Amino acid sequence: MKANRDLVVPVAPSRSRLRPLGLDEVRITGGFWARRREVNTTATLDHCRDWMERVGWTGNFSAPVEERRGREFADSDVYKLLEAMAWAGTGSDTITQTIASAQEPDGYLNTAFGRPGRQPRYSDLEWGHELYCYGHLIQAGVAQIRTRGEGELAKIAQRAADHVCATFGRGGIDGVCGHPEIETALVELARATGEQRYLDQAALFIDRRGRGRLADGEFGRAYYQDDLPVRQATVLRGHAVRALYLAAGAVDVAVETGDEELLAAVVRQWETTVARRTYLTGGMGSHHRDESFGDDFVLPPDRAYSETCAAVASVMLSWRLLLATGEPRFADLAERTLFNVVATSLSEDGRSFFYANTLHRRRRGTVPVTDAVSPRAESSLRAPWFAVSCCPTNVARTLALLPAYLASVDDHGVQLHQYADAEISVGHVALRVRTDYPSDGTVTVRIARSPDHPWALSLRVPAWTEGATARLVDVDGTRRAVAPGTATVTRVFRPGDEIRLELPVAPRWIGPDPRIDAVRGTVAVQRGPLVYCAESVDLPDGREVDAVRVDTAAEPADGPDATVVAPGELAEPHDEVWPYRPPDQAGTPAAERQGIVLVPYNSWANRGPSTMRVWLPTTRR
């Protein structure tokens, strides 16, 4: 295969329906994501680096064995930080040097295994995370290749990858890692270096999986997707992050090898997962016990796990499927997930994080501790750092590379997938996108540069516009309704030409599929791509959100400061000695009508301890 090291992107398929644009081709210039990215660059990256030093995870690479700190996968968080730094245009040669010093001559690199006094190499594929750690190392290495060209980190990564091929190739250890991640990383390294052997190794790992090579344990083999071969599975299952990273790797392998069957299998899994196992926010995974998907339609809001890393992984998967197929449905899910999970995870100041993203918080809890490691991945608490701290650096790398998710090109023209105030420059085309999306639904695309032959400008019309009317205003001012999917204008564009997309962002009620038992009899409010919630700080008289009832006979309306006001009431049920009674006695008393203030879900928990809920019971009794 041919090396493609020029595109400054996380994913560079050598063949696919759409070609991604690099960080040097797309610049976010203002609005929602510019603010988030600014916080990431000025606060989050340093915050992660500081904590990683404080808890000793960077130090592990130079520390004596007996002083190693953190869980078995702590190395990976250092690598994710380096990846985030690379995409952000920074980097750390100091950390890189320390990592280099810990690499064995044969390429092996891990601070938890394979040294005297530790467990032997690859003696615990189920839980050891050695290949998982390489995966993140390799992704960091690829980011370096693509942002700075060759460098020490890239060399470390490639040595590790060579070691993996030598050790786990045909005739070597016939195993897979308990936590997928190496697969997608190896394909990307193959793309960045042109070395076929990395792709072959990734394909081998995908093929080996699902055949019971990993031990059956408390959570069963589905936990690490070793229950069914990838191409036979019909839905994502088990540990959500593992399932999504594996699916991303399978798409990469399918695309590079032209394996349509494998690609179709992942698309089928994605479809069923989206239809039956995904929260309104785009969040995935409903079990706290094993961080896994539940059965179909098991989506309890108050026990939503919806791990931040699963959201990051879901965006990674959707992006790969979008490039492979060109279908806007994948960008729809990515948008939902970015605005409602990834953006929710991070506090306004960029220094604390949700690990799990609950959709219903019942107790106010206490003021979060800002200077201690949280021993728990609690839904209720943004914490500065966790004992298992995979999420902060995963958010950081996602925000750093976010511009790469906005647009793509193909032989016909340019496609806009996500909307942000931005500048796009690719070949003979330059675009200026002006918008205050998602606060406002108007997206104006001005042509700054264009070839003098016709080409196609495609704009995603989000699926959330269904039932309302989106409109496209052409260069000549003609205006037409556009259905969810893709709106395309094909013409000879001239500099100064403007295309305008008008998306109906007015707040709307959303109801759940009747099979989602946990939210029967409730509705949510969505405004554009944003899911809204009731938060106790906005309720009068110190009331809690479980008193909220809304009336869907009337419509929610925009309020001041990005709020929405929903028609409803605050009504507390009677306390009973036993909470089960004949149905006619089990209702809630009526209460005075009032507007209920709702705020974007991604903004909650920034104003002190509160209760919160996304799904609101209706006044219908």
Instruction: Note the residues at the interface with its own copies (CB under 8 A).
Output: 216-220, 271, 274-276, 278, 280, 287-289, 294-298, 300-303, 329, 360, 362-363, 375-376, 387, 463, 466-467, 508-524, 546, 552, 573, 575-588, 615, 617
Q: Which of 542, 530, 510 is nearest to 603 (CA)?
A: 530
Burial zone of 21 (CB within 10 Å; 0-12 exposed, 13-18 middle, 19+ buried): buried
Which CB atom, from 137 or from 311, has the smaller least distance to its own copies? Answer: 311
Pair of tokens at residue 440: 């406002």
Q: Min. distance of Cβ 503 from its own copies in angstroms? A: 17
Which CB atom, from 12 or from 274, has the smaller least distance to its own copies? Answer: 274
Q: Give the Cα separation of 572 and 186 in Å (integer).
A: 55
Which CB atom, from 476 or from 575, has the smaller least distance to its own copies? Answer: 575
Q: Does residue 3 contact residue 194 with C-beta atoms inside 8 Å? A: yes
Q: Min. distance of Cβ 389 from its own copies in angstroms? A: 14
Q: Min. distance of Cβ 511 from its own copies in angstroms? A: 3
**DSSP classification of residue 383:** B
| Measured CA distances, 134 to 138, 344, 392, 457 (Å) | 6, 28, 19, 39
Q: Min. distance of Cβ 75 from its own copies in angstroms? A: 21
Q: Give the Cα separation of 141 and 154 in Å (integer).
A: 4
Residue 389, number of CB atoms within 10 A of its CB: 27
Q: Min. distance of Cβ 131 from its own copies in angstroms? A: 24
Q: Min. distance of Cβ 37 from its own copies in angstroms? A: 28
Q: Min. distance of Cβ 545 from its own copies in angstroms? A: 11
Q: Give the Cα separation of 501 and 384 in Å (integer).
A: 39
The three-state secondary structure class of 501 is strand
Q: Give the Cα separation of 284 and 91 in Å (integer).
A: 31
Which CB atom, from 134 or from 353, has the smaller least distance to its own copies? Answer: 353
Q: Min. distance of Cβ 117 from its own copies in angstroms? A: 20
Sorted by sequence, the CB contacts under 8 Å of residue 277 that are 6+ apart come out as 235, 236, 284, 286, 293, 294, 296, 297, 298, 299
Which CB atom, from 179 or from 276, has the smaller least distance to its own copies? Answer: 276
Which CB atom, from 478 or from 580, has the smaller least distance to its own copies? Answer: 580
Which CB atom, from 173 or from 483, has the smaller least distance to its own copies? Answer: 483
Q: Give the Cα separation of 170 and 158 in Å (integer).
A: 19
Residue 380, number of CB atoms within 10 A of its CB: 20
Which CB atom, from 202 or from 516, has the smaller least distance to its own copies? Answer: 516
Which CB atom, from 275 or from 492, has the smaller least distance to its own copies? Answer: 275
Q: Does residue 160 contact residue 176 with C-beta atoms inside 8 Å? A: no
Residue 579, number of CB atoms within 10 A of its CB: 8
Give the residues across from 421 on adjacent strands: 30
Q: Min. distance of Cβ 156 from its own copies in angstroms? A: 33
Q: Does residue 460 contact residue 417 with C-beta atoms inside 8 Å? A: yes
